[in-house]
Amino acid sequence: MQKNLGQWAAFRQVRARKLPRWARRTAVLLAGGALLTLGIALIVLPGPAVVVIPAALGVLATEFEWAKRWRARAEAGWKRIRGPLRSTERVQEEARRLR
């Protein structure tokens, strides 16, 4: 059964390669742009903008270099914010264990 899954993966790759590059880039631009627009709207509307915007950048980064740079900057910013939060969580967890 797993052999068949491998064959299907290879089939999908071959099919994707047959599309002209402009068609792939256009499809990625439309899908990623729609997700990014939705994510920006979700900043003011109730919804998970923090999830949708990075997902949109991930989609766009598959074809566009500028999106790869934006995604890398967003990742670095998240790690910079998340670092102190994790150390705070560890201190709180250790304090709970000591009680």
pTM score over 0.85 = no
pLDDT in tens, 44-79: 999 898 889 989 998 999 888 988 888 888 888 888
Higher pLDDT, 81 or 72: 72
CB-count burial class (<10 Å; 0-12, 13-18, 19+) for 90: exposed
How many domains are contained in the chain?
1
65 vs 57: CA distance, rounded Å: 11
Q: Is 55 part of a structural domain of the chain?
A: yes
Q: Are 63 and 25 a contacting pair, CB within 8 Å?
A: yes
Say whether pLDDT at 40 is over 90: yes
Q: Is 10 part of a structural domain of the chain?
A: no
**Which residue bears the tokens 């402009």?**
22
User: What is the model's pLDDT at position 1?
Assistant: 46
**Which residue bears the tokens 């990075």?**
54
The residue range of the domain holding 57 is: 21-98
